Amino acid sequence: MDFFQLIDGAEILSCSGNAGIHGVEYDSRRVKPGFCFLAMRGDSTDGNRYIDKAIELGAVAIVTDSATEIPRPGVAWAICAHGRRALSRLSANFYKHPAEKLAITGVTGTNGKTTTTYILDSLLRHAGRKTAMIGTVEYHIADRVIPAPHTTPEPLELNQIFREALNEGATEAVMEVSSHALAQERVFGIPYDVAVFTNLTRDHLDFHGTMESYFQSKATLFKGCGTEPPRVGIINRDDEWAEKFMKVANKHCDKVYTYGFAAGDFHAENAEMTSTGTRFDLVTPEGRVPIFSPLIGKVNVLNLLAAAAAAMERGIHLDSLAESITHIVRPPGRFERVSAGQPFTVIVDYAHTDDALRNVTKLARDFVQQAGGGRVITLFGCGGDRDKTKRPLMGKAAGEGSDLVVLTSDNPRSEDPQAIINDVLPGLAQTPIKFIVEPDRRKAIGIAVANARLGDVVILAGKGHEKTQTTREGVFPFDDAQVALETLHAAGYTAETEGSHHLHGSHIG
């Protein structure tokens, strides 16, 4: 491929020179001989500062979003109107437009994205489809699994994953689409066949500023990201923002479906939650079918409904859904049980918003009541260098849903952990609940476990699948599930049961 072919269709303001292109890169450290380096302004740095470094490493072409940069001699050169849009077009051209050859479902929302994409990916695979899956926990490329550095990767990585998936026989892709990715146009040029909205609750206002701006970013998925709008929009009618999303979807999508716990085009009837899973009748426009899922709780019923609606729109028959749903596996760090034979339940969950804390504590409360007693002990913290306004809201949610709260640290980053805790306390103080403050998360987990009695549920909230803790001193290994298991062993519980760490099933107790 030559330079002219690479920049075809991009918003190029001027260009000069030509060269054979053997790769594309936006990180100068990864440039190799024969590459084109795309220099663009980002949130934390300006790639144009590294143009000469890229040329030293062998770049033969430069695409820049800076009109003030002077073309370097002997190097093909182009000025683009918008860096990330250009990256999207160059990446698509270099990898021969793989996204256009896949049927892509995008899932957006504050909570539920990961579980919904996992369920949908599982349903498609059980029906014999080969898929790519891109999300917070991990990426799937056909039958391979790789760690996920970002919920939604940059366009270059996205097109590379899609190309690899196509080469391995994939026909479908399922992906979480974050509000950051939509606002930053990381998914510009990606055509979505189906778009799913799970919910919108307070989060990421450090980036978006207002809830309206947050909504507008997510609504972009239903309008088309530099492409035609999705063919189908699927909306959670139980969410308070549903009406606004419905207006956008009805204007842009060919078909729009709603889902909800008790009403909607897709809804549940005769729901029954047990210690081993959830039973309900799945009601759809095509009929109804009894369902048993190993996932538990009302929130997961909504996730199942969203995934079922998307699966049916991707051609999965209703009759096959019942069997497929029986075999689904929850993603790591989502209501994940950790057991060493203790007489109480320890759960690791990714809940890191006030809405998510309400959901997870409500689920735990349902179980202790169903079991005839027991308390809900919730450990959580709030992330540093993030939206401070949600901190007291999370404190209030945890206090309202728990019998004991252990307030600790959760990726304080550059902030003082105690300062973050002080921001949480006013919300927690609005509830009559007893709480304990321990900034050291490992010690805090020890306190939560030490306070647990027969029949209690201990929730370790916030980090979920994450394997590190980020502080002003650096990034350190930290896995809530592993630390919990070590804590239980130190307390004298040593029975190694199946799924004692990273159990993806749903049994409680």
pLDDT at 21: 98
Q: What are phi and psi of 262, to 5 degrees?
A: -115, -10
Give the rounded percent of residues in the chain with a pLDDT score beyond 70.
96
The annotation status of 213 as a binding-site residue, yes or no, is no
Nearest to 379 by CA among 295, 458, 290: 458
Mean pLDDT of 35-47: 92
Q: What is the pLDDT of residues 99-131, one digit of tens each?
A: 999 999 999 999 999 999 999 999 999 999 999
Domain made up of 336-490: CATH architecture: Alpha-Beta Complex (3.90)
pLDDT band at 507 (very low <50, low <70, confident <90, very high): very low
The annotation status of 236 as a binding-site residue, yes or no, is no
pLDDT at 277: 86
With 90 as the cut, is the pLDDT of residue 503 above it? no
The annotation status of 186 as a binding-site residue, yes or no, is yes
CATH code for the domain defined by 3-94? 3.40.1390.10
The annotation status of 358 as a binding-site residue, yes or no, is no
Give the rounded percent of residues in the chain with a pLDDT score beyond 90.
84
| Consecutive H or E run containing 459 | strand 457-461
| Distance of alpha carbon 417 from alpha carbon 439, whole angstroms | 6
Residue type at 65 in one-letter notation: D
Q: What is the pLDDT of residues 268-297, one digit of tens each?
A: 999 998 767 899 999 999 999 999 999 988
| Distance of alpha carbon 14 from alpha carbon 112, whole angstroms | 44
User: Are β-strands 61-64 and 76-80 bridged in parallel, bridged antiparallel, or unpaired?
Assistant: parallel
User: Are β-strands 468-471 and 474-477 bridged in parallel, bridged antiparallel, or unpaired?
Assistant: antiparallel
The annotation status of 387 as a binding-site residue, yes or no, is no
**What are the sequence ranges of the domains in the chain?**
3-94, 98-326, 336-490
| Distance of alpha carbon 179 from alpha carbon 202, whole angstroms | 12
The sign of the dihedral angle between the CA atoms of 276, 279, 284, 288 is positive
Do residues 269 and 283 touch, judged by C-beta distance below 8 A? yes
pLDDT band at 434 (very low <50, low <70, confident <90, very high): very high
pLDDT band at 202 (very low <50, low <70, confident <90, very high): low
The annotation status of 410 as a binding-site residue, yes or no, is yes
| Distance of alpha carbon 151 from alpha carbon 113, whole angstroms | 10
Do residues 183 and 208 touch, judged by C-beta distance below 8 A? yes
Mean pLDDT of 430-459: 97
pLDDT at 208: 67
The annotation status of 500 as a binding-site residue, yes or no, is no
Mean pLDDT of 124-148: 92
Do residues 487 and 448 touch, judged by C-beta distance below 8 A? no
| Distance of alpha carbon 372 from alpha carbon 370, whole angstroms | 5
CATH superfamily label, 98-326: Mur-like, catalytic domain (3.40.1190.10)
The annotation status of 178 as a binding-site residue, yes or no, is yes
| Distance of alpha carbon 50 from alpha carbon 474, whole angstroms | 25
The annotation status of 466 as a binding-site residue, yes or no, is yes
The annotation status of 28 as a binding-site residue, yes or no, is yes
pLDDT at 273: 83
Q: What is the pLDDT of residues 47-77, one digit of tens each?
A: 999 999 999 999 999 999 999 999 999 999 9
The annotation status of 111 as a binding-site residue, yes or no, is yes
The annotation status of 184 as a binding-site residue, yes or no, is yes
With 80 as the cut, is the pLDDT of residue 151 above it? no
